[in-house]
Amino acid sequence: MKKIVILVTLLSNLYLINAQENGSFYGGLESNSQWLQTDKGLNFVAPEDQFRANNYVLMNYNLGKFTAGAQYESYLPSGLLGYSPIYDNQNDIATYYFNYKDENLDVTAGYFYEQFGSGLILRSWEDRQLGLNNAIKGLNIKFNATKDLSLKAVFGKQRYGFEESAGTIQGIDADLSLSGALNIESVDIQLGASYVGRYQDTNGNEALPTTVGAYGGRLDFIIDNFYAGVEAIVKDPDVIVNEEQISSNKLYDGTALQVNAGYAKKGLGINATFRRLENFSFYSDRFAEGNIYNQQVVNYVPGLTKQQDYLLTNLYVYNPQPRLIIESFDQRSGEVGTQFDLFYSFKKGTSLGGKYGTKLAMNFSYWGGLDAEYNIENRWYKAKFIGKGHQLFRDFNLEIKKKWSKNWSSVLTYQNVIVDKAIVEGGPLGKKSILANIGVIEATRRFDNGKAARFVVQHLWSEDDRKNWAAGVVEYNFSTRLALYVADNYNYGGVDKIHYYSVGGSYSKGNTRLGINYGRQRGGLICIGGVCRFVPSNTGLSANLTVAF
Amino acid sequence: MKKLIFIFCLSLFSLNAMAQNDLPSVDLTSIDGKTIVLKDATNKDGITIISLWATWCVPCLKELDAINDIYDEWQEETNVELLAVSVDDSRTVKRVKSMVNGKGWDYTVLLDTNNDLKRALNASSIPLTILVKDNKIVYKHSGYSPGAELELYEKIKEFSK
């Protein structure tokens, strides 16, 4: 605590002598608060702390090659609903750092964010909407050895709430531009290699490995309009931990393989990805495996599906399944699947293009569990490379954007989605699935002086789960600063015909933005006044304020 | 009265802080995987628009599509350059190249996959559009609504003088 006081005093003193030097002070404030209300229609009972807020203040000072900063966070009286309870009733300086950076060397001491390759082996980052901040507290060194070779090294413990993880992370990464080094012009080839290890005290249990390492390699190349890449990672054997208990003393290794390829030229873009994960979860504390709050995760394993834009297209989404579990009530060993994207622009003047052109985006993704045999008594399993495992998620969607005139434009979206019920509700995979078809029409009308109106009509057809839904949004921009909206998400096909209504607005000027909403929020992505945020499910009044300085 | 003086000083303080807003010295990646130093990528004789966007951010795509339609006119009149910085992380970054080409954008696209620039600008939401002159930030606007690009252009012309 004393150290922080000294740091903050130093920062403010440095700021005062700013006029003579060439330094700059910058940062920001973000405050997200909610006042929850009991809602009988939604079966929602407001918790004891009805008013909740997550507040962040970030301050940085930069002088030449040196930068220092600190982030203060407060979760008083409790953090927002749905965030990890370790934050409740706390407030403190959460992260601080000291950095030196020149053309070849970049060193940070304190809390830092880093990523190796795609992040599949190591990624520490902050996402306030997710309540995720797995910054590493220690030392980060980045060094450009030559113009083609860059090296990175990390060492430290991960942040866990206002404390640190039980395990210590160490890692090195090398990135080489092979075409640059060998002076090849026609093809661009990049090679990478990483090692990340977690050291954790085993408390005398000799069956557990003290250091678990992951070793990865990646290759990317670009030839004219065509590009492709592959990344493969192998993880040392470790025990399975399920709900903070070690399943057995048996050790299992893990693998990850990701292949990506695409073609892009003006007017057309195609991209395809294949990924297979087997027992691939990596935490800085082995007992944190599988926690629902995204805490202490060492790497980044996102669901490779399209991020949908509307209320109803965000109903059935996919959560990736990299874990290995061998229990009588649940057997799973990983996932395998693919995602495909196509983007195309019909040129202006053609019959399908019209006067202003038409843009088309098509996406398909398929994810399934690994096809494996399990022997529960012996805690043994064997998985095929692809095989025919349970279908967990399949999504086909199409989006057509068209500008009709100077004042009118529209977006037409269609989605056909199948998701395994356990992905949505939890439980063992492969029992039942939900099939839904969704259609959305959005139209925008522009007026003068930055005024505009936006209308969205959506419908979801399904014979499973909560059956049919209908939704609509009307948003009006009084100027480029002020916007108001009214929305309703109506589950008319469900047993309780619930209306998830909401009303709100936003005001933004320069460095400040304020958003206020009231109503029932069904969790998902909501865009208001030109900005998109992820909103967790709740009933009540919420306010979001951001100021950048 | 004391309160007024205090508020006055506070606003001078924040205005002062704003006036010294240097462009953060962050390294980004080009769409072909090369490391780009942000300060070297900005326009040397004219305004640079730096727009933070992502493939999943609908208003960001609307803003960049709208500017794309009138980009050549803007460049002819003011010599402005737009750097479209994608904050897509590894989940969606592979779609950036195909999307940018599929839409036929004429901008220089840079990747900020670990969100270093987003953090340095304290952007809690996107789109965030800033105007940069001589590597100093002169204007910031967060969010997009139809017609905002016209207001942005007025600012560009103002700073281009």
Give yes or no for residue A508 having a pLDDT over 60: yes
Torsion of CA A262, A263, A268, A273, to 10 degrees: -10
**What pLDDT is recorded for position A342?**
95
B36 touches chain A (CB under 8 A): no
* Cα A44 from Cα A81, distance rounded (Å): 12
CB contact under 8 A, A222 and B32: yes
Q: Which residues of A fall within a CB distance of 8 Å from B116? A: 113
CB of B11 less than 8 A from some CB of A: no
ipTM confidence score: 0.78
Q: Cα–Cα distance between A398 and B120 in angstroms, integer?
A: 35
Q: What does R_g of chain B's alpha carbons equal in angstroms? A: 17
Distance from CA of A480 to the nearest CA of B (A): 6
Q: Hey, CA dihedral for B126, A114, B91, A132, is it positive or negative?
A: negative
Q: pLDDT at position A64, please?
A: 86
Measure in Å the smallest separation between the Cα of A395 and chain B Cα atoms: 16
Higher local confidence (pLDDT), A406 or A235: A235
Tokens describing residue A293: 């709050």
User: Closest partner residue to B98 among A23, A262, A446, by Cβ?
Assistant: A262
* Phi-psi domain of A5 (left: phi exceeds 0; alpha: psi -120 through 50; beta: other): alpha
List of chain B residues whose C-beta atoms are within 8 Å of the C-beta of residue A60: 120
- pLDDT per residue over A260-280, tens digit each? 999 998 889 999 999 999 999
List CB contacts (< 8 A) between A262 and chain B. 94, 97-98
Give the residue carrying structure tokens 């072909």. Answer: B32
CA terminus-to-terminus distance, chain B = 40
pLDDT higher than threshold 50 for residue A525: no
From the list A117, A100, A189, A103, the residue with the least C-alpha distance to A146 is: A103
Q: Which residue has the tokens 């789109």?
A: B127
Right CATH for B23-160 from 3.40.30.10, 2.60.120.560, 2.40.30.20, 3.10.180.10: 3.40.30.10
Say what angle helices B148-160 and B58-78 make with each other, to 10 degrees.
Answer: 30
CB A228 within 8 A of CB A263: no
Mean pLDDT of A336-344: 95
Please give the distance of CA A140 from its chain centroid, rounded to a whole number. Answer: 23
Q: Does A379 touch chain B (CB under 8 A)?
A: no
From chain B, the residues in CB contact with A479 under 8 A are 145
Nearest to B145 among A265, A273, A530 (CB): A530
Cβ pair A52, A90 in contact under 8 A:
no
Q: Residue A369's pLDDT band (boundaries 50, 70, 90)?
A: very high
**Lowest mean per-residue pLDDT among A16-25, A133-142, A315-324, A533-542:** A16-25
Cβ contacts of A477 on chain B, cutoff 8 Å = 145-147
Shortest CA gap B14–chain A (Å): 7
- The whole-angstrom separation of Cα A303 and Cα A419 is 13
**Helix or strand run (H / E) with residue A34:** strand A24-36
A407 vs B contacts (CB less than 8 Å): none
Cβ distance A452 to B146 less than 8 Å, yes or no, reads: yes
Chain A interface test: which of B53, B95, B111, B129 (most A C-beta within 10 Å):
B95
Supply the pLDDT for residue A2.
Answer: 58
Cβ B145–A483 below 8 Å, yes or no? Answer: yes
Chain A residue with CA closest to B95: the answer is A271
Cβ–Cβ of B146/A477 closer than 8 Å?
yes
**How would residue A212 be classed by pLDDT, with cut points 50, 70 and 90?**
very high
Could you give the 3-state DSSP secondary structure of residue A345?
Answer: strand
Percent composition of chain A: helix, strand, coil (DSSP 3-state, to 5): 5, 60, 35
Read off the pTM.
Answer: 0.86
Please give the distance of CA A336 from its chain centroid, rounded to a whole number: 19
Q: Which residue has the tokens 């601080």?
A: A96
Contacts of A314 in chain B (CB under 8 A): none
Residue A15: pLDDT band by 50, 70, 90 thresholds?
A: low
Question: Do residues A462 and A442 touch, judged by C-beta distance below 8 A?
Answer: no
Convert the pLDDT of each residue in B7-45 to its tens digit.
Answer: 444 444 444 444 447 888 888 999 888 888 898 898 888
Residue A20 vs residues A300, B11, B24: alpha-carbon distances, Å:
44, 21, 20
Question: How far, in Å, CA of A38 to CA of A341, rounded?
Answer: 43
Calculate Rg over the CA atoms of chain A.
Answer: 25
Binary contact (A513, B115; C-beta < 8 A): no
Q: How far is B13 from chain A (nearest CA, A)?
A: 10
Say if residues A341 and A365 touch (Cβ distance below 8 Å): no
Please state, for a pLDDT cut of 70, what percent of chain A lies above it: 93
CA distance A64 to A258: 40
pLDDT confidence band for A333 (50 / 70 / 90): very high
- What is residue A40's DSSP assignment? G
Handedness of CA A201, A207, A208, A212 (dihedral sign): positive
How many CB atoms sit inside 10 A of residue A183's CB?
7
Residues 86-125 of A with CB under 8 A from B: 101, 113-115, 118-120, 123, 125
In degrees and rounded to multiples of 5, residue A408 shows phi and psi of: -115, 135
For A6, the enclosing helix (H) or strand (E) is helix A2-16
State CA B124 to chain mean position distance.
14
pLDDT at A343: 93
Residue A151 token pair: 């090296």
| Cα distances (Å, whole numbers) of residue A486 to A237, A442, A517, A539 | 53, 15, 10, 15
In the predicted structure, residue B137 carries a pLDDT above the cut 80: yes
**A39 in contact with chain B, both atoms CB, cutoff 8 A:** no
The winner for highest mean pLDDT among A187-196, A303-312, A526-535 is A187-196
Work out the average pLDDT over A304-320: 85
Q: Where are the beta strands (DSSP E) in A266-371?
A: 268-278, 325-326, 331-332, 334-346, 358-369
Residue A463 contacts residue A437 (beta carbons within 8 Å): no
Half-sphere exposure of B113 (CA within 13 A, CB side): 23
Tokens of B145: 């609504």
Contacts of B25 in chain A (CB under 8 A): 62, 101
C-alpha distance across the termini of chain A, in Å: 25
Say yes or no to pLDDT of A34 above 70: yes
Nearest 5°: the CA angle A344, A349, A351 is: 75
Express each pLDDT in B107-132 by its tens digit. 999 999 888 899 888 887 889 999 99
Q: For residue A126, how far is the Cα from the chain centroid?
A: 9
Q: What is the mean pLDDT of residues A24-43?
A: 89
Using a CB-CB cut-off of 8 Å, the residues of chain A touching B151 are 450, 480
Q: For residue A194, what are the β-bridge partners?
A: A173, A216
Residue A196 has pLDDT above 80, yes or no: yes
In this structure, what token pair is assigned to residue B161? Answer: 């003088």
Contact residues on chain B for A360, CB-CB shorter than 8 A: 102
Question: What does pLDDT average to over chain B?
Answer: 84
Most distant CA pair in chain A: distance in Å? Answer: 74
Pairing of strands B108-111, B81-86: parallel
Q: What is the DSSP letter of A9?
A: H
Cα gap A304→A307, rounded to integer Å: 9
Lowest mean pLDDT among A19-28, A171-180, A244-253, A456-465: A19-28
Q: Contact A273/B25, CB-based, under 8 Å?
A: no
Q: Tell me how far apart the alpha carbons of residues A211 and A195 are, in angstroms, rounded to a whole number.
A: 12
Burial class for A442, CB neighbours closer than 10 Å (0-12, 13-18, 19+): buried
pLDDT of residue A253: 94
Q: Are strands A136-144 and B35-37 parallel, antiparallel or unpaired?
A: unpaired
Mutate to test the interface with B, among A271, A405, A445 (most CBs of B within 10 A): A271
Per-residue pLDDT band for B102 (boundaries 50, 70, 90) equals confident
Element holding A419 (H helix, E strand)? strand A408-420
Tokens at A267, concatenated: 């007017």
Helix (H, G, I), strand (E, B) or coil at A196: strand
* CB proximity under 8 Å: A 511-540 to B: 511, 513, 525, 527, 529-533
